Amino acid sequence: MDIWSWICELPNSLEWTESDSPLMFELASEEKDNSVRSIHLKADRTSGSDSEAVVTFTVCLQGFHPHNAHKPLWVSEKCHLSSQNPFLPLLLQLLQEIISSSPTAHDSTCPRSQLQKLKPDPIAWIMDSHTPESLSTFFNLVFTMRLFWLCAFQAPPEAGSLYFHSLLTPTLETSSKLASVLRTFFITVGVDTELCFMRTLGYIITKLHMIKELSVGLGLKTLLPSPRFSYATEAHGLWILKGYSPVMNMKLVRSNAQKSQFCGIDAKESILRYALAHHQLEAHVQIEYTVGFCDGYIQVRARLDNIRLQVARLGFNQNDEVDFLEEKHFPSRVRVWVGPEIGATYCGGLSLGRSTENKESEVELQKVVKGNLEKSEGSNVTASARSSRKTRSRSWRMDQDAEGNAAIFDVVLHDNGGTGLEVGSLKGTSETGDERVHGLKGRYVRGNRAFTKSGSVIIAGDEYGEEVGWRLSKEMEGSVLKWRIGGEFWLSYLPNQTKGSYYETRYIEWCDEVDLPLIHAKTS
């Protein structure tokens, strides 16, 4: 039985008297050295005001020396069994404590102290509007996230190990069932709470991957889950795709690293890789769409409104002294696609809005003739010619493409420091021997940088504004279609301020569905 199901099946106030022993739920346990060590959730029946039946939950450890089994790790607020939604205060408390202890991204403009408390009504609506199975999966994730700080930092090391292997890993394995409830939760609570929640989760997943990496030589063969947290929605004429991934959860496609990220290397490079591991990709894609009703067909048009790619550094405050603070992963390519569902027969054609780039080079030719008209025995005439060529170079190349009826927006970072190569395919300094690493040294401070000062990338419609269009059958008028939206994202690392040869490129893909309403608004 999972945690939420056990909580919901607790006896009601009439069946459960205050004299009864507390009810126990075993969260995780292991047997070692002829003794059993376990993490428990305990439900204790007490009386509130006017002898009202209330229940208090505590998390406690057993068998971990020298921890006192009678001293709980965590105590909940009182839940009133007679209320309409008795366990709403429990979920609210867990969420609020997760947000309050969220690892702050460097240069964040939303410190934890400015976050308001969650309002109970939206959380109550989420609890009432989802199936028991999806709500149970969501609650188990929230509860497991809250336990992270307790077991990893306030408990004996053996309790932290038990938490990572017996609690966290099984919870993340069921993350594929969370898409619907997480989408509703994020839309309901707002983007500031969403960031705090996902940065906490990203930090926890990072630590799990690091434990796996550091345990390579210890015989640990646990397969790590690879949760992909993303969702898509339609709102106000926009299709929106959002995704979050710690870099260690992204597929490694190019690197000069050894099999282990942290073992068998010198101390300086080990610290560098430790700092690089605490990065998280936060992707936000907005595509603006319009629907036009014409004689004989429906015209759907879309244009790229915004792509915002942020690489957040987890776990550090703005004023912390951190080694290799200027060493960050950076976005090197993004490929976004949008179009009708696969197999759709109602779409008659796709028209792209950007031609393949055919650059023109501007050449200036200047001729100068100099002569001397004075009387002389011989001619004294000289001539010289001078030419110049002007070319324009951009760090980001933007293309459109098509695959079936899906339109593809492809944006690739190229090195404008001399090689002109795609940055995601570079291999450190080995390709050219250039100590400047292809012009990417100091990439966040130069005037012609390809990134914002914080290392983010923003691609807006003013630069990539050409729209694409589909013609749909007139018979689809009045329906709400499912439109697919997805993206592939690449992050790369090359030395920025430090000297070194380490490089890598990582990759992740997200895909989801959004609504396309084909409802003609008639006006009188």
Q: Which two tokens stand for residue 200?
A: 């906490």
- pLDDT above 70: residue 188: yes
Give CA separation, 209 vs 138, 155, 166, 169, 180, in Å: 22, 20, 15, 11, 26
Q: How far apart are CA 186 and CA 193, in angstroms?
A: 8
| pLDDT at residue 50, rounded to an integer | 60
* Model confidence pLDDT, tens digit, residues 430-455: 444 444 455 677 787 777 788 888 88
- pLDDT above 70: residue 164: yes
Q: What is the pTM (predicted TM-score) of this model?
A: 0.87
How do beta strands 297-313 and 279-294 pair? antiparallel
* Banded pLDDT at 428 (limits 50, 70, 90): low
Choice between 106 and 157, residue whose per-residue pLDDT is larger: 157
- pLDDT above 70: residue 373: no
Choice between 500 and 317, residue whose per-residue pLDDT is larger: 500
Q: How far apart are CA 366 and CA 384, in angstroms?
A: 9
* Banded pLDDT at 259 (limits 50, 70, 90): low
* Model confidence pLDDT, tens digit, residues 78-103: 998 888 889 999 999 999 999 988 88
Number of helical H runs and strand E runs in the chain: 9, 20
Q: Taking residues 216-245, report their average pLDDT.
A: 78
Lowest mean pLDDT segment, chosen from 239-248, 260-269, 348-357: 260-269
Could you please report the per-residue DSSP string of 139-153? HHHHHHHHHHHHHHH
Percent share of the chain, pLDDT over 90: 42
Cβ within 8 Å of residue 236, ≥6 positions away: none
Cα 101–Cα 104–Cα 110 angle in degrees, nearest 5: 100
* Model confidence pLDDT, tens digit, residues 32-84: 777 888 999 999 887 766 667 889 999 999 888 777 667 889 999 999 888 88
Element (H, E) at 75: strand 74-75
- pLDDT above 90: residue 513: yes
- pLDDT above 70: residue 214: yes
- pLDDT above 80: residue 310: yes
Q: How far apart are CA 47 and CA 82, in angstroms?
A: 12
* Model confidence pLDDT, tens digit, residues 464-480: 778 999 999 999 999 99
